[in-house]
Amino acid sequence: QVQVVESGGGLVQAGGSLRLSCTASGLTFDYPMGWFRQAPGQEREGVSCISRSGGSTYYADSAKGRFTISRDNAKNTVYLQMNSLKPDDTAMYYCAAARYRGSSNYTPTHSNEYIYWGQGTQVTVSS
* CB contact at 8 A, 55 and 95: no
Q: Is the pLDDT of residue 112 over 90?
A: yes
C-alpha 8/C-alpha 58 separation (Å) is 21
Phi and psi torsions of 73, nearest 5°: -65, -30
Q: Is the pLDDT of residue 1 over 90?
A: no
Identify the three-state secondary structure at position 113: helix
* CB contact at 8 A, 125 and 90: yes
What pLDDT digit, counting tens, does each position of 9-22 carry? 999 999 999 999 99
User: 122 has which bridge partners?
Assistant: 92
The mean per-residue pLDDT over the stretch 5-12 comes to 98
